[in-house]
Amino acid sequence: MNEQPMQKSNMSGQQAQTMPEPPAIMTGKDLNYMNDMLAWNLNAMKKAHFFARHCQDADIKQAIEDAGHMHQHHYEQLLTHLHGHTQDGQYHQ
């Protein structure tokens, strides 16, 4: 049998270029991921609120409330980012 060795692609000659900032458009896949992130933060916010209400220790209660506020802040940042993209019509399927 005449077997030829498999050719390996050499990536060392090619440099991956990083983007200085994300593209100005959002794809459907991007929007699905943003939807997931919104759901995760909303769920964490609700759980933090629930557990803080039922916590007896003031220090732990404060830590849980701080975590809930952090998730609320992230949720609002995501909404602000999405609002900017929907106003500009920068959604592409």
Looking at per-residue confidence, does 82 or 8 come out higher? 82
Q: What pLDDT, on a 0 to 100 scale, did the predictor assign at position 82?
A: 86
What are the pLDDT digits (tens) for 24-42?
788 899 889 999 999 999 9
pLDDT of residue 79: 94
- 15 belongs to a structural domain: no
74 within some domain: yes
Assigned domain for 23 exists: no
Predicted structure pTM score: 0.67
Domain assignment of residue 82, yes or no: yes
Count of domains in the chain? Answer: 1
The parent domain of residue 39 ranges over 28-88
43 falls within a domain? yes
Residue 35 included in any domain = yes
Cα 81 to Cα 17, 23, 24, 57, 92: the distances in Å are 25, 13, 11, 36, 16
With respect to residue 1, please indicate whether it lies within any of the assigned structural domains.
Answer: no
Rounded mean pLDDT, 15-28: 81
